[in-house]
Each structure stands twice: as C-alpha cells, then as structure tokens.
C-alpha cells in the first residue's frame, strides 16, 4: 500500500481540522460502484424489461440518470483508470494490457485519504487491481479475482467465478462496519463479464441452460451464431445483471442515508450488433454507452440528463461533492451543478472522446458531440460519421453528406491528441506481474 504523498496530507489539514472541530457540515461519505461489462440498455431506466434491475431502477428514481454517459475505452484498465483520475487513457499513458496506472498520477483515493477520509476498496477484476497500481491511496484494498483460470489464483473452481457479487457485497459491508466517517468506498463487481455463469437461482429465471464452452469458442467470430444461441447468451447475461443488481441492493441498504453514491459501467458488451461478441475491439454504442447514476443529499431525485457526459467527469464531480478542488489538469468537468437541478439546464456539451490504442501506434478514436459521432482510425486516417439521432444502430456513414461536421470533429480530435501529455511514470512497476495477472484471468496463454 502506498503512503499518501506528504504534500497532499499537509494541503488537506484545514479540512481535517474542520472535520475534527465540527465547524461546518461533515462532507458525505462517497461510494463509487463500478459494474463490469454493463450495457446501459441492460437496465430498466434505459429500456430493459421491468424486473431486470429493480434496485438500480430504485436508485435512479432517487437520484439522477445520465442517458448518454460514455466510456473512454472498450476495456476495463483504461476505463477504470479514467474514472478514478478524471484523465483520458492517452493522458495516463495506458495503451494496452502492459500499462499500469502511473505512480505519479493523483487518484481519488489519494485525494480523499489526504482530506481525512477513510479509504477502502473491494475489487474483483485484476485489471483494476494492485498489479495495475489501482491500490494507490487506499488504506484497505481488498482484491480477489472474479474468476481464475489456474488453481493458484482462483480457488476451488478454476475457470469459474470465485469473487462473485454476493462475496463482493459481503466484503464491502464488512469494511463499512470498520470504517470511520466520512469514508470513500470503491467497489468493482465483475459478474456481467464472461463467462456468463449466474448462480442457479438467477439462471432459473431464463429457463435455459447455456453451453459456456460453445459460446466462448464463438468469441469475436462473426455471423455464424444461430439466433437461438444468441437468445440464450443474452438471457444468461441478463441473469448476471439481475444477480449483481440484487447484491448491489444489499450493499445500498447498508450505506448511510446521506452517502453520495455513483454507479457506473466500465464498458458495455457486444451481442453481434456489428458482427462480434464480448468487448475490447470496437467503439460502437453497445460498447461505449454505459449506465451512470448519481444519488446524494443535494441531487435532484428523478432527474434525467441526456447531454453526453464521460467517465472522466466522475472524479471532478466527486471532488466537488467532498469540497475539494479539482486539479486544473483534469480533462473531466464536474457535474455537480447539473445533478443539483437534474436536467440539461446546467450541462455543457464539449467534445467527448473514446479510444482504443496499442503500443504499436495503431489506434481508433471516437468523438461525440450532441448526437454526432465520428469514428477515426488514427487521428487523420479513415473516418466515419454517424448521426445517432436518426441512426442509433450506426449503420450508415454520413461523413460525405455532412463534411463540415466531420471536419469539426476531426479537428477536435487532432487538437486533443496534440495537447495530450502522457503522465511520466518514474516507477513503471513490473510488466511480469501484470502478465501473470493476465494469464490468471485467461487473457493470454
Ligand atoms: Zn471491464
């Protein structure tokens, strides 16, 4: 566990004194819940069938729902790093599986710890775990793999889910029982990630069983999956979502009434909408559109905001909720004034970026402004433009018909990439450790 930088501690002294001296209201406890691989449209507030996610639906009615929240990347590592720092993956220097979060970057946990918060995390995805330096700033970081492909990292059931939502909620509730207020709790559920193996009680709701190995063989292949198989895959995914919703509800029941709660997805999941399964390869809406719900003492209950917002907006929002200054270098902007009214009224709409990069220099970017979405392979190469209002399924490239819009978005992307300065990492840690992590979760052989 890394010590909080001395400067951060001394800078936070006035806040520590104000907590200790009861001068002014105590800042709220803050709970940041990430649900892996959760498409926005898997939830009731975004059109899923009643009963799909009753607890998240309830949370949405008590808080504000963002109808166009976008992930910065199609996979866990960069997305969670952006959520906890307010910086885009290119600014963090996180391009592929080998890149950890730089030790020099200041995370939410470090800011909150420096301001006198207790800090704890319960995390079930290795890409957001200690090997990728996501434990920086936490007093307690409870990490265990969601699943293990090898017996030395999993436990009794190699290749099967181990740190499932029920166990994650148990660990989070146990930590809350020991934490002093105010606290910052970061929880990461991984259940909707493949393999889709919900507990039998939830699987029974789908009336079908799934040959997991058969569907895994179809990973990233296209076209040759029967409709009947697709229905069963979707049913299993929905059962995982219902299970995690239930367990997340148990955690919500254990929180202080005045806690500020954020629930966010790290990225979505593909079910052959554009020819592929799972995630990590494309920037289509089924991958980028994630749920984002915020609830707290000054949040307008029942609010809906459909201006596009990004995962990078979460960190500045939480800092403002805690009464801390956002740092100038953050790319995100605070959504506090928007959630206080619960409408678009106070929500600016800048360009929002998503990216899929690797160290070889190959890269794909998406730029969103209003209902326009530009997808570019490299900053200047092939581009496609989609009008999501008319064409939410991204079937028709209209770059040739709307050249000025395409040019504006392409320029915005070029400027963003030119201005991005990767955070230096004097202590990059061990790539071997991270490779071991990837082997453990079955991402590499
Ligand atoms: Zn993920």
- d(CA 147, ligand 1 centre) in Å: 13
**Per residue in 251-274, pLDDT tens?**
999 999 999 999 999 999 998 898
What average pLDDT score do residues 105-111 get?
96
- d(CA 11, ligand 1 centre) in Å: 34
Residue 386 has pLDDT above 50, yes or no: yes
- d(CA 287, ligand 1 centre) in Å: 10
- d(CA 128, ligand 1 centre) in Å: 9
Nearest-CA neighbor of 69 among 36, 108, 31, 41?
A: 41
Residue 11 has pLDDT above 70, yes or no: no
- d(CA 94, ligand 1 centre) in Å: 15
Those residues with Cβ within 8 angstroms of residue 153's Cβ, 6 or more apart along the chain or in another chain: 145, 440
- d(CA 37, ligand 1 centre) in Å: 5
* Rounded-to-integer distance, Cα 412 and Cα 2, Å: 37
pLDDT at 233: 83
Nearest-CA neighbor of 398 among 411, 410, 384, 412?
A: 384
What average pLDDT score do residues 334-363 get?
87
Cα of 296 vs its chain's centroid, Å: 19
- d(CA 355, ligand 1 centre) in Å: 15
Give the three-class secondary structure for 164: coil
Average pLDDT for the chain = 86
pLDDT at 199: 84
Top-tier CATH class for 6-350: alpha beta
- Number of C-beta neighbours around residue 399 at 10 A: 19
pLDDT at 155: 45
**Per residue in 207-239, pLDDT tens?**
556 555 555 555 545 556 666 678 878 888 999
pLDDT at 324: 95
- d(CA 255, ligand 1 centre) in Å: 25
CB 100 within 8 A of CB 436: no
What average pLDDT score do residues 284-301 get?
97
Ordered DSSP codes for 265-295: ES---EESTTS-EESSS---HHHHB--EEEE
- d(CA 76, ligand 1 centre) in Å: 4
- d(CA 276, ligand 1 centre) in Å: 16
Residue 376 has pLDDT above 80, yes or no: yes
Q: Which residue would you say has higher pLDDT here, 81 or 422?
A: 81
Residue 58: pLDDT band (50, 70, 90) is very high
Q: For 306-325, give one letter per residue: b (16+ CB within 10 A) or e.
A: ebbbbbbbbbbbbbbbbebe
**Per residue in 411-438, pLDDT tens?**
999 999 888 777 777 777 778 888 887 7
pLDDT at 206: 61
- Number of C-beta neighbours around residue 58 at 10 A: 15
Is the Cα dihedral 59, 65, 67, 68 positive or negative? negative
Comparing 88-102, 129-143, 293-307, 426-440, the range with the smallest average pLDDT is 426-440
pLDDT at 344: 83
- d(CA 31, ligand 1 centre) in Å: 19
């Amino acid at each position: 566990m890394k010590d909080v930088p001395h400067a951060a501690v001394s800078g936070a002294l006035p806040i520590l004194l104000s907590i200790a001296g009861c001068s002014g209201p105590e800042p709220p406890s803050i709970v940041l819940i990430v649900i892996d691989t959760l498409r926005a449209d898997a939830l009731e507030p975004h059109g899923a069938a009643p009963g799909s996610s009753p607890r998240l639906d309830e949370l949405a009615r008590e808080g504000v729902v963002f109808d166009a929240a976008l992930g910065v990347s199609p996979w866990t590592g960069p997305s969670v790093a952006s959520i906890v720092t307010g910086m885009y993956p290119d600014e963090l220097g996180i391009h592929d599986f080998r890149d950890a979060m730089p030790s020099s970057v200041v995370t939410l946990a470090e800011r909150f710890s420096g301001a006198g918060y207790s800090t704890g995390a319960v995390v079930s995805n290795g890409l957001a775990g200690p090997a990728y330096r996501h434990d920086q700033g936490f007093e307690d970081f409870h990490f265990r793999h969601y699943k293990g492909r090898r017996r030395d990292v999993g436990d009794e059931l190699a290749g099967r889910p181990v740190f499932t939502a029920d166990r994650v909620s148990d660990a989070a509730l146990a930590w809350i029982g020991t934490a002093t207020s105010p606290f910052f709790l970061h929880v990461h559920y991984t259940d909707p990630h493949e393999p889709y193996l919900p507990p039998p009680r939830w699987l029974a709701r789908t009336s079908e069983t799934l040959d997991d190995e058969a569907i895994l063989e179809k990973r990233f292949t296209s076209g040759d999956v029967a409709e009947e198989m697709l229905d069963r895959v979707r049913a299993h995914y929905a059962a995982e979502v219902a299970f995690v919703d239930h367990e997340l509800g148990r955690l919500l029941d254990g929180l202080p009434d005045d806690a500020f709660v954020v629930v966010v997805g790290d990225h979505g999941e593909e079910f052959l909408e554009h020819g592929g399964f799972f995630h990590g390869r494309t920037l289509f809406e089924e991958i980028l559109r994630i749920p984002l719900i915020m609830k707290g003492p000054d949040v307008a209950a029942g609010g809906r905001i459909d201006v596009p917002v990004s995962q990078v907006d979460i960190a500045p929002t939480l800092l403002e909720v805690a009464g801390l200054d956002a740092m100038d270098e953050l790319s995100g902007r605070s959504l506090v004034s928007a959630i206080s009214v619960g409408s678009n009224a106070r929500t600016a709409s800048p360009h929002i970026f998503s990216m899929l990069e690797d160290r070889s220099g190959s890269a794909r970017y998406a730029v969103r402004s209003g209902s326009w979405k530009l997808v570019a392979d490299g900053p200047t190469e092939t581009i496609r433009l989609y009008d999501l209002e008319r064409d939410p399924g991204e079937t028709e490239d209209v770059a040739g018909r709307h050249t000025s819009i395409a040019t504006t978005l392409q320029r915005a992307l070029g400027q963003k990439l030119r201005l991005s300065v990767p955070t230096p990492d004097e202590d990059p840690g061990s790539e071997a450790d991270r490779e071991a992590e990837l082997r453990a979760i079955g991402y590499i052989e």
